[in-house]
Structure 1
Amino acid sequence: MKKIVSIVGGLIVVVVVAVVLFVFVFAGDAIKVAVEEMGPKLTKSEVKLDKVDLSLASGAAALSGLKVGNPATFTTPHAFKLDNISVKIDTGSIGSDVIVIKEILINAPDVIAEFKKFSFNPLDTKKSIQESLKTSNFIAIQKNVDAFVKQSGGGGGKSSGGSSSSDSEKGDEPKLIIEKFRMTGVKVRAVSHDGLKMDTSLPPFSISLDNIGKKEKGLPPAEIAAVLIPKVQAAITDAMMGDLTKVAGDLFKNMGGAVKDAAAGAAKAVEGVTKSIGGAAGGAGDAVGDATKGATEGLKKLFGK
């Protein structure tokens, strides 16, 4: 459970930080186009952004309907959907070495964790959930993102001066500070199609983080994500730890109860059949006895005895 919420949190953070950067690099419909073109390359799934409202003068942006779908072979509607994201940037910092993001607010993220097979062992819940996680949509997306990053990172050859091109590009990156990061009413639905089958919603929760990169006087986007992701992971883990284990445990108990009921029902059925057979056998025995008695009497009469 800890690992899956970590991956969920990490993917949400990476997507949101990337979109925030897109918002203030591109403008208007170009943001939507950039997100929808780049997203599928990263995730190997459908990525849609319905609407962007941007005010460069006030440094405010509102994004609605950001959806990351599932890779092929998964059947739920999406991996996660962020219907309402609002961003505020300190306009005085735009164009400077350090861009100050005053707040990122994400309202009611809709997350679906889909398992192809959920195997649950009550004697080792952690291991069984980790094994089940390997069949999930989030692991599939994570692998796609990792593969894209690895491929894009390539060799990153050396320049004539001995420094790598990636190092020089990193030096040109803007630095960021995120003063306020909020995720409210996070909703997670867990779906399993095989093994321990389930389709259940976990209790909603919220996350609140402040001053990311402020102590360092700004961090490059990749480092912002590296700092923010573990914090979001920890917050999600604290909020959700045990929820999925409890759900799986309850389902397992219910399954056990159903098995017991089925066994009891089968035993009663067998008992009923046995009694019926016994009754039938008894009736047959009486019939045979009567027939034998009748035959004996008939023989006696026949031979006059």
Structure 2
Amino acid sequence: MKKLILLVGVLVLIAGGAFIFLSGDAINALIKTKIEQVGSDVTEQSVTVNRVDMKLLKGAGTINGLVLANPSSYSAPSVFSLNEITLDINLKSLGTDLIVIDQIIIDKPEAVVEFTENGNANIKDLLEAIKKNTASDNTAVESESEQAEPIIRVNKFVLAGVSLTVDLTKLGNKSHQAILADIQLSNIGGESGMPASQLGAELVKQALSSIWQQAKAEQADILKEEAKDKIKEKAKEKLGGLLDKLNG
């Protein structure tokens, strides 16, 4: 019984560490509700989930149709959405002080990064909100309730096949699409792990940070290529004008 209660605690880690014993559809409903509540609190944007399906005895589960809304000052309806998250939990670790999730895979998520003329971007704003809303978790002394939470480490975290839209319309450009190489992060929570209530926010922060870094690189490459094209076009115009004079 103790191990099963611990397992339920692990399965709601993304939802902020709720730690109670339920079964069947009640667990799925709890996880869905907690992900939406905690995700919205941490990011300051609406988070919705379509469906949760946990297979407790197998130490596995899926979360489907998660959508993170875009801040209201941006155009796209969402900044991040995904088809499926799968979790692979190390059952042998459930009886220990450190619970290990062998792997979390987010399959084919879609991300929209909107840049503005003043140098801001939607993901940048979200990361600042997450940093602000989790700052106390990093510095506060643990309470008795926090000490009772399961301590978690994620060995491997994969964002597979991210479909990225880089929207540069506010910079006088257009939207560009790219499929990113798989983003793989390891040892989330460190060797000693971290409380379940903090781990979900850390996973979101690291996922968005990785996408943000690649989006900035894509933006730089796009603008560099456009600048080269403009230089080539001007050179052709000057050469054409010179030839016209020579032939005239």
Q: Which residue of structure 1 lines up, in the alignment, with residue 225 of structure 2?
A: 250
- Give the Cα separation in 1 of the matches to 2:176 and 2:210: 23
Unaligned runs of 5+ in 1: 1-15, 118-130, 157-163, 268-305
Structure 1 counterpart of 2:14, from 15, 18, 26: 18
Q: Which residue of structure 2 lines up, in the alignment, with residue 207 of structure 1?
A: 183
Give the % identical residues.
Answer: 23
Query: Does the 8 Å CA contact 1:177/1:219 hold for their aligned counterparts?
Result: yes
Structure 1 position 75, deviation (Å) = 0.9
Pair 1:257–1:20, CA change in 2 (3 A) = farther
CA RMSD of aligned residues (A): 4.1
- Give the Cα separation in 2 of the matches to 1:64 and 1:186: 16
Q: Which residue of structure 2 lines up, in the alignment, with residue 33 of structure 1?
A: 33
Structure 1 position 206, deviation (Å) = 0.7
Q: Which residue of structure 1 lines up, in the alignment, with residue 101 of structure 2?
A: 101
Q: Which residue of structure 2 lines up, in the alignment, with residue 184 of structure 1?
A: 160
- Give the Cα separation in 2 of the matches to 1:138 and 1:192: 14
Structure 1 counterpart of 2:125, from 140, 146, 149: 140
Structure 1 position 37, deviation (Å) = 2.3
- Give the Cα separation in 1 of the matches to 2:132 and 2:187: 31
What are the superposed Cα offsets for residues 34-90 of structure 1, whole Å, 9 maximum, x if unpaired? 222222222222211111111111111111111101111211131111211100213
- Give the Cα separation in 1 of the matches to 2:46 and 2:200: 25
Pair 1:83–1:176, CA change in 2 (3 A) = same
- Give the Cα separation in 2 of the matches to 1:179 and 1:59: 15
Unaligned runs of 5+ in 2: 1-11, 242-248
Q: Is the partner of 1:205 in helix, strand or coil?
A: coil
- Give the Cα separation in 2 of the matches to 1:68 and 1:217: 30
Structure 1 position 185, deviation (Å) = 1.0
Query: Does the 8 Å CA contact 1:68/1:79 hold for their aligned counterparts?
Result: yes
Q: Is the partner of 2:164 in helix, strand or coil?
A: strand
What are the superposed Cα offsets for residues 178-230 of structure 1, whole Å, 9 maximum, x if unpaired? 2332221122210023224220013421133455557x354444479769967
Query: Does the 8 Å CA contact 1:23/1:61 hold for their aligned counterparts?
Result: no
Structure 1 position 19, deviation (Å) = 4.0
Letter of the 2:133 partner, please give it: F
Structure 1 or 2: larger helix share? 1
Structure 1 position 138, deviation (Å) = 1.2
- Give the Cα separation in 1 of the matches to 2:155 and 2:236: 57
Letter of the 1:18 partner, please give it: I
How many residues of Structure 1 are paired with residues of Structure 2 in the alignment? Answer: 226
- Give the Cα separation in 2 of the matches to 1:198 and 1:67: 24
- Give the Cα separation in 2 of the matches to 1:262 and 1:37: 58
Pair 1:22–1:248, CA change in 2 (3 A) = farther
Q: Which residue of structure 1 lines up, in the alignment, with residue 47 of structure 2?
A: 47
Letter of the 2:60 partner, please give it: A
Structure 1 position 252, deviation (Å) = 3.0
What are the superposed Cα offsets for residues 208-261 of structure 1, whole Å, 9 maximum, x if unpaired? 3455557x3544444797699679967985x77743311111223345566788
- Give the Cα separation in 2 of the matches to 1:46 and 1:231: 17
Structure 1 position 23, deviation (Å) = 9.8
Pair 1:21–1:186, CA change in 2 (3 A) = farther
Letter of the 2:121 partner, please give it: S
The answer to whether structure 1 residue 194 and structure 2 residue 163 are counterparts is: no
Letter of the 2:221 partner, please give it: K
**TM-score normalised to the size of structure 1?**
0.59
- Give the Cα separation in 1 of the matches to 2:207 and 2:69: 25
**TM-score normalised to the size of structure 2?**
0.70
Pair 1:24–1:137, CA change in 2 (3 A) = farther
Pair 1:19–1:187, CA change in 2 (3 A) = farther
Pair 1:189–1:59, CA change in 2 (3 A) = same
The answer to whether structure 1 residue 71 and structure 2 residue 71 are counterparts is: yes
Q: Is the partner of 2:176 in helix, strand or coil?
A: strand
Bigger radius of gyration: 1
